Structure 1
Amino acid sequence: MKPLSFSIHHVGACTRRRVLAAVLGAGVMAAAWPAQALEVGDTVMLPSLTLLDGKTLPASAFKDRTVIVEYWASWCPFCAQQNPHVQKLYEATRGKPIQIVTLSIDKQPQEAIDYLKTHGYTFPAGMESDAWRTALGKRRGLPELYVIGRNGKVLRKEVGEMFGEDVAALADYAGK
């Protein structure tokens, strides 16, 4: 089969403008779509995060620290099993070069706020945003957890619930 060939020079000026507009429009749309999901070995720059308490965690908070990012939702039963372990990890790693960040995918921030309050969770939590979707790419499940090294490389990725001892072992990534 002969490959399809197309030259914009063979059409009129009006058609060329329409084709160019369509191509540019498609490029803008493609740039707005979330990137492929991050995988182990990929490098990422994390954006700042507005926390549910209204404070901002600046992007500089991730510099020279191992960052653990967890996606969760208040309605997710697997997140409900994992989040107590994330809270224990947060408490155990305070003062160490680890930054824990959790991102809720709830439709309304108040749902996430109520969930955190009900369970007494104090780990840093914000809402998933376009900037975080762009940085981390498309999610594959819940909960979903990333360990990102001080150099911005993804060291570990877990999709689905982790056992308590596995979450606790994430403290071993401090300084990596």
Structure 2
Amino acid sequence: MAIVLSMVAMLASAPAQAVEVGDTVTLPSLTLLDGKTLPASAFKDRTVIVEYWASWCPFCAQQNPHLQKLYEATRGKPIQIVTLSIDKKPADAVDYLKAHGYTFPAGMETPAWQAALGKRRGLPELYVIGRNGKVLRKEVGEMFGEDVAALADYAGK
């Protein structure tokens, strides 16, 4: 019995496989760094763009200004942008956002989000998830500004 229980514990703590294009995911709610909660219902019937980032990541520093422009350009469209910091301290993420004037929704990576999207492969890492929960696009590494801007084309998909 002890062997079975330890095997179950190992499986429960094993990292989830990385989510890939074509997989279907269910996104959980997220407590944002400003203390507000973005409920899971905010993702219903919307294309969701999820970006993992860190305050110390130079590639994130190059991509995040483009993500901010996308966030501003898609207000009022059926797109929800959400970003997840992997910083060890939330204060580091908050300071980074304030220093750069970013207003896109940002929270910390949580076990629920890890379970939903699986193991990361790099930073930044970006997912486009369609209204039906299907992963439409996955990008690992920095994207060019025009490629980030083109993500607006996923509205309503």
State the TM-score, normalized to the length of structure 1.
Answer: 0.88
* Deviations 1:106-147 (CA, angstroms, capped at 9, x unpaired): 000000000000000000000001100111100000000000
Q: In the aligned structure 1, how far is the partner of 2:120 from the partner of 2:128?
A: 15
- The aligned residue for residue 40 of structure 1 is 21
Identity rate, percent: 87
Alignment of 1:136-155 (within 5 A): 136-155=117-136
Q: In the aligned structure 1, how far is the partner of 2:108 from the partner of 2:148?
A: 21
**2:64 alignment partner, one of 83, 94, 119:** 83
Cα offset for 1:33? 2.5
**2:142 alignment partner, one of 147, 155, 161:** 161
Alignment of 1:1-176 (within 5 A): 20-176=1-157
Q: In the aligned structure 2, how far is the partner of 1:28 from the partner of 1:151?
A: 32
Gaps of 5+ in 1: 1-19
Superposition RMSD on alpha carbons, in Å? 0.7
State the TM-score, normalized to the length of structure 2.
Answer: 0.98
SS at match of 1:67: strand
